[in-house]
């Protein structure tokens, strides 16, 4: 026989603490072990101040740990909930038409400068393009017409007779020369 | 019975088959958010991370709501997701780094202020703070699995069968983890008592 409770016996006593719920199978197991060892364990706890003091101290420690953790977590949860509530608009506020109207106005106001910026470059670029394009087409047409005329001519232009500025005088001279020949 | 009635019955049956208990996520969040947050906070010991993981828990639950077959309670299912998130988080190197430098890390002094004092004697308060700090520091020394099982039992006060369902371990293994966790706490407890004597 050992002098004190074994670790498993002590743990079973802690796990079987009445403040904690136990599931059926384990409770039966604990109950069975108690029915066999119950008298021995309880007799030992009553007779041994070391084991009873240690059991009480461990139970108190675990109880303080749980109480403090639950209290702290509750406080932190409330703080985080308050922070989130202060950031997000209240739910009832979202359902008001005034809120959505204001949101739409802000959206349109934000889009207005963008649309203005988009229209200005378009108007600046389309005007020169529209004026230049017909001129270019017109000059191309004239150039092609000129080329067609030159190509379709019977006599190439370098071989055409020179134009005589003194057509009347020359005719008289030429006749006289012909006569001399 | 008309064909329209048959069609409407079929549609309602199909909707009923597709509906899950997790469809009303708003009420589920309202019911379980504080509990999930508490588990994350005490497991990770960081307020910001606990908030983030709490949100992730419900996002994952919503994403996987159709896989919920109802073979366990919603709280058990949520706690399983929360436990997996804690496990994923604590296994990263990033966690170890931020644990050292985080400003939102929970200190034992933050916790000890929340011990309820049933009597007002200074000595009993000091003893209670010391006992709480002893468990708090011992839990930090536990392995990841022992810590999870310990917190599920002694913080969340879950039954062993629920812990077994959440962790996917046999009940006997859950008990073994609890024995070892209590052995660590007990060893520290005894060492403190010897030092005080």
pLDDT band (50, 70, 90) for residue A164: low
pLDDT at residue B145, as a whole number: 93
Q: Read off the tokens for B108.
A: 């034992």
pLDDT band (50, 70, 90) for residue B149: very high
Taking only the tens place, the pLDDT of each residue in B31-52 is 999 999 999 999 998 888 899 9
Taking only the tens place, the pLDDT of each residue in A35-52 is 556 778 888 888 889 899
Q: Is B169 on the interface with A (CB under 8 A)?
A: no
Chain A with chain B: Cβ pairs closer than 8 A:
115
Q: For residues A84 and B88, which has the higher predicted lDDT (pLDDT)?
A: B88
pLDDT at residue A22, as a whole number: 44
DSSP chain B: --HHHHHHHHHHHHHHHH--TTS-HHHHHHHHHHHHHHHHHHHH-BHHHHHHHHHHHHHHHHHTGGG--SSS-HHHHHHHHHHHHHHHHHTSHHHHHHHHH-TTBPPHHHHHTT---SS--HHHHHHHHHHHHHHHHHHHHS-HHHHHHHHHHHTS---HHHHHHHHT--HHHHHHHHHHHHHHHHHHHHHHHHHH-
Mean pLDDT score, A1-8: 79
Nearest chain A residue to B129 by CA: give it. Answer: A64
Nearest chain A residue to B185 by CA: give it. Answer: A58
Q: Is B97 on the interface with A (CB under 8 A)?
A: no
Q: Which residues of A touch B187 (CB under 8 A)?
A: none
Number of CB atoms found within 10 A of residue A108's CB: 10
Q: Is 60 exceeded by the pLDDT of residue B11?
A: no
Q: Which of A39-48, A67-76, A84-93 has the highest mean pLDDT?
A: A67-76
Distance from CA of B9 to the nearest CA of A (A): 34
Q: Which residues of B touch A70 (CB under 8 A)?
A: 38, 114, 155
Q: Which residues of A touch B136 (CB under 8 A)?
A: 65
pTM of the model: 0.64
Nearest to B111 among A26, A61, A68 (CB): A68
Taking only the tens place, the pLDDT of each residue in B97-146 is 556 556 667 778 888 888 887 666 888 888 888 889 999 999 999 999 99
Indicate yes or no: CB of B42 within 8 angstroms of CB of A69: yes
Nearest to A76 among B41, B132, B161 (CB): B41
Residue from B26, B37, B44 whose CB has the most chain A CBs within 10 Å, to mutate: B37
Distance CA B76, CA B90 (A): 21
Mean pLDDT of chain B: 83
Nearest to A21 among B51, B114, B159 (CB): B159
pLDDT band (50, 70, 90) for residue B1: very low
Distance from CA of B111 to the nearest CA of A (A): 6
Indicate yes or no: CB of A60 within 8 angstroms of CB of B161: no
Q: Read off the tokens for B110.
A: 């933050």
**ipTM entry:** 0.83
Distance CA A69, CA B44 (A): 13
* Cα torsion through A156, A159, A163, A166, rounded to 10: -160
């Amino acid at each position: 026989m050992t002098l004190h409770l074994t670790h498993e016996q002590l743990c079973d006593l802690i796990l079987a603490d009445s403040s904690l719920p136990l599931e059926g199978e384990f409770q039966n197991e604990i109950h069975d072990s108690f029915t066999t060892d119950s008298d021995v364990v309880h007799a030992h706890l009553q007779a041994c101040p070391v084991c009873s003091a240690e059991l009480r101290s461990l139970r108190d420690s675990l109880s303080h740990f749980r109480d403090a953790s639950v209290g702290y977590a509750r406080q932190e949860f409330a703080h985080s909930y308050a922070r989130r509530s202060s950031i997000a608009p209240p739910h009832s506020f979202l359902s008001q038409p005034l809120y959505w109207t204001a949101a739409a106005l802000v959206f349109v106001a934000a889009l207005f400068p963008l649309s203005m910026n988009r229209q200005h470059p378009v108007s600046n670029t389309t005007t020169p393009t529209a004026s230049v394009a017909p001129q270019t087409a017109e000059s191309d047409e004239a150039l092609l017409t000129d080329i067609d005329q030159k190509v379709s001519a019977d006599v190439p232009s370098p071989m055409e007779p020179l134009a005589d500025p003194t057509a009347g005088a020359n005719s008289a001279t030429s006749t006289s020369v012909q006569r001399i020949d | 019975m008309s064909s329209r009635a048959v069609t409407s019955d079929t549609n309602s049956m199909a909707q009923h088959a597709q509906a899950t208990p997790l469809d009303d996520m708003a009420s589920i969040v309202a019911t379980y958010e504080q509990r999930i947050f508490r588990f994350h906070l005490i497991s990770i010991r960081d307020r910001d991370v606990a908030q983030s993981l709490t949100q992730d828990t419900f996002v994952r639950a919503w994403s996987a709501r159709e896989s919920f077959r109802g073979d366990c309670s919603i709280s058990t299912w949520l706690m399983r997701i929360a436990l997996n998130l804690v496990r994923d988080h604590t296994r990263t190197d990033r966690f170890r780094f931020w644990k050292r430098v985080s400003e939102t890390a929970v200190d034992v002094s933050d916790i000890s202020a929340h011990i309820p004092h049933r009597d007002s004697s200074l000595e009993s308060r000091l003893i209670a703070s010391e006992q709480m700090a002893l468990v708090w520091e011992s839990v930090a020394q536990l392995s990841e699995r022992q810590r999870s099982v310990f917190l599920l039992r002694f913080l969340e006060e879950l039954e062993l069968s629920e812990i077994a369902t959440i962790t996917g371990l046999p009940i006997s293994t859950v008990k073994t983890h609890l024995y070892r966790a209590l052995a660590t706490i007990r060893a520290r407890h005894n060492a403190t008592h010897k030092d005080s004597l």
